[in-house]
Structure 1
Amino acid sequence: MSHDVIMPALGMAQETGLIVAWLKAPGDAVKTGEPLMEVETDKATMEVEAQADGYLTGIRAQAGENVPVGEVVAVISDTPEDTAPASAPKVEAEAEDAPETADASGIPEGAQIIMPALGMAQDTGHLTAWHKAPGDAVSAEDILLEVETDKSAVEVPAGQSGYIAALLAASGEDVPVGTVIAVISAQKPDNPMMRSAKAATAPTPVPKPEAAKPAPAPAAPAKAAKPAPAVPRPEGRILASPKMRRQATLEGLDLGRLVEAGVPQPYHMDDLDQLRSLATTAANAQAIPQQAASRHLTAELSADGLTDFLNWIETETGAPADISAVLAGLAAGALADTTVVAVERFSHIRRFAAPAQYPLGRALETEDSPTLILRDLRGSALTGLHLGAEDAPVLTLTGRASLTLTLEAGSAQMAPAAALDLITGFAARLEMPLRHLL
C-alpha cells in the first residue's frame, strides 16, 4: 500500500515550504523515522521524517522548489519500481484565495489561522491549550496555542499581528489539519467570537468581560468500587503524546493502566487525572511494598567525559553523534547479556539491537522487547528518583555538569553483584568512553 508524502506545515501562517534537499534518492529503501527531506520556511529549517516503510518513488517536487502546504511531493511505495501516480493533494492551495472577509457562518474579518500539520502522516492535531483569549492583542511571534500529536508537543506562534477576533476550536478538541481555528484581525474586534470546532454551525459571541464565569466542575474520578481482575500487560508500543509520556514518567505513573482500563489511544494530558486515579486505586488494592523487592543504586560522575566523546565523534565522522545510540552502546558494554537497549530521550523511545557492538552509535533499531531501559533526563529539574522495578532494569541519567546515574531493578531481574557491575561499568564508560574503546 502506497503512502503519500506531503509538505507539512511548520507554522500557523505558513503557505509553502522550500525543499532544501532530498536525503533519499528515487528507489531508495526508507524506514519509518528516517530523515527523508530537508524543508525550510521563513521560521525554521528541519529534517522531515518518513512516516512509513517502503521505497521512495514518484517524486513530484525537486530541491529548490517552493511547494504549497499539504501538496503531495512524493510517494513511499511497496516496491522501488512502483510507478503509481500520487494521489491528489490533501489540502488545496487555498492560501492564495483566502478571503479576509466574514463568511456565511459569521466568522469575522481577518487572517485565518489553520491547524498546522506537524508531520507528514498527521490528520488531526490535539489542541491542548490556547495562550491568548478572544479580543487579546497578539504579535506574530507570540505563542498562540499548544498542539499535541502522537509524536510531538509544540507551542505554535501566531504568525500574524493584530487582535484575536475569533477562536474556532476549544481546548481538548482534536481538529483536522487545515481547519480554520482562529482569526486575527487588524483592528480590535467589537464582538470577538469563541466556539467549539464541533459547533461550527452555531458561533457564540464572547460576552463582555463583566463577571467571570464559574469554572466547570471537574470530571469525576474513575470509579474504584472493586479491584479489577488481573489483566495481562499490553504488548507493543503505547501511543501517547510526548508531554503526557514525560509527565507520567515524572510522576511514576504506568500508561499501561489506561490500556488495561480500556481507555482509547493515543493518550493526551486530558487523560492524566484518570491515570492518577487508576494508579491510586491500584496502590490501595495492593498493600505490598515494592521497594523491598527491588535494587536501587546511584552513582555520581562528571559530564565532561561524555561531552568530549560526543564532540570527538562529530569531529571524526563529520556529523553530529546519535546521542541515544551512543548511550545505548556504552550501557550495553557494561552488561554482557544485554541484547536490546531502549533509550527514552525527550519522551521519544528508540530500541537498539546489540548496541555494544557499535560504540560510536551506529546500532540498528529494532521493535524487540528491551532487556535494559535507559532514560536520559539530563537537563531536567530532577536530582534523583525512586520509581521501583519495571519490566526490565532501568538506568536513569539526571543532572547537567554533574551527572547522577540511578539503577533500579527487581530482585528477580538482577543479582546484587550484577547490579553493581552494571552501574559501576556504565559510570566508568560515561567518564572515560575512549579508554573503554581501546
Structure 2
Amino acid sequence: MAHEVIMPALGMAQETGKIVSWQKQAGDAVKIGDVLMEVETDKAIMDVEALADGYLGSISAAAGEDVPVGQVIALISDKIDAAPAVSHELPMASTEPPTGQSIIMPALGMAQETGLIVAWHKAPGDKVGAEDILLEVETDKSTMEVPAGHDGFISALLADSGQEVPVGDVIAVISTTAPKAPFQSTAETRKPAQEPVGDPSPAPVELKAATATQIVASNPVVVPGSRIFASPKTRRLAAEQGLDLGRLVAIGHPQPYHVADLEKLHNLPLAELNNEVQSLALPNQITARVPSGGTQDFLDWMQEEGNVTLAPSTIWIAFAAAALRSALEAGDDILVISLMDLQAKVRSLTNPDRARLSCLTESDPDAVASLILRDLSDSPITGIRLAGSKEPSLSITTLGNDYQICLDFTTDQLSDLQAIQFITEFSDRLTDPLRHLL
C-alpha cells in the first residue's frame, strides 16, 4: 500500500507552495516525523514531515516548482522495489525545451566569464514585456537587473537561482504564444541537500558582533533587512547556540541554510567579523529619473549650429563636476572625475566643469578621483547597486526615454544633505543643458 504525500496548506489563504529542496531522495527509507522537503509559502520556509513509514518514491515535482495545495507530489511505499523511478524535471510535452527567442547570460563586464543568477523575477508560463525585469545577475561585486528584451511568454528557464552560468549560454526561452507545457531545467544535476541524522549541537559561542541586518554580503549581494533562507530547525538551533546566520551571508555561503551549515558558522573566526562588516557594507544610494530628451536636443543643436559632435558622457562629466563642486562648496579646489564605460576603460579629467566641452583636460594617472561616473547607457541594465568604493559612484543607465541615475556613497564621502543637493543639481542640469551651459 502506498501513502500519498500532498502539498500541504501551511497558511489560511495559501493556494500553492514552492518546493525549496528535497531532504530525501527516491529509494530512501523514511520514518514518521522525518523531514521530506522544505516548502516556501508567503514569508516562511517550513519543513514537511513524513506521515508514514516506508520508502520514498514517485516524486513528481522538483525543487523550485510551485505546486497547488492538495496535489500529490510523492508516494511512500511499503517496499523499496515498489518505488517507481524519480523525475526531477517539471512535466512537459517533449524532452526538448520549447522554441522561441533564446535569452543568454549577458556579458556585463569586460573580463566576465560567468554570471551568478541571484534571482528569477519571472516563472515558466508568465507573460513578460520587453522592459520587464527577467532576472538579477551578479558579476564581480555588483548585482544587476536584466530585462527580458522581448515581449511574449516564458517558455523555458534553463538555470536555477544560485547557479553560475558561462557568458553566452542560453538561460531562458521567450515564445510569442503562451506555452502549453512550460519547461524548467538546469544545466547541472540537482543534488538535494541532506540534513544529518541527529543533532550535532555544537557548543554555544558568544558573538560580540553585529546582527544579521547589519551585515551585508558581496556574494551574493544582499541589502539590509533581506530575508535569510534557512530551515526552521536551523534557525532554532542557531538562536539557541548564539550563532548569527548573517555571517554565512557575509562570506557568500549559498542559501538556503541547513543544520549542517551551522558547523561552518561555528568555526568562523570571530576576529575577522569586524573586517567582514567593514568591507562588505553597501553604501547609501539615491536614485533619480530624468528625461533624456534635453541632452539629445543639446547634442543635436551643437551639431547643427557649431558642427561639433559630442558624446552624451562629455556633458554628464561636466555637469557632475559642477554639481559636486556646488554640493561640497569646493570653490577653486581641483576636482577629478573618472569616467568608466562598459569595458571598464577609465578616463580621468581635471575640472571638466571649467573647460570647454571639446577641450577637456586629462588628469595625471595617479590623481585621486573625486567621483566615478559610470556610463551604462548602452547596456540593458536598468538598475544597479555597487559595493563600497573609495569614491562616490554615479551610474547612468537608460529606462525607456529616460536616464536612470544612481548615486552610491558613504557618509565618509558625502553627507546626506550633500548627496541630495548633488543629485538634484545634476538632474536639473541634465533636464535643461543649454540653460546651464550658456
TM-score range, shorter chain: 0.3 to 0.5
Structure number with larger C-alpha Rg: 2
Which structure has more relative contact order (CA 8 Å, sep 6+)? It is: 2
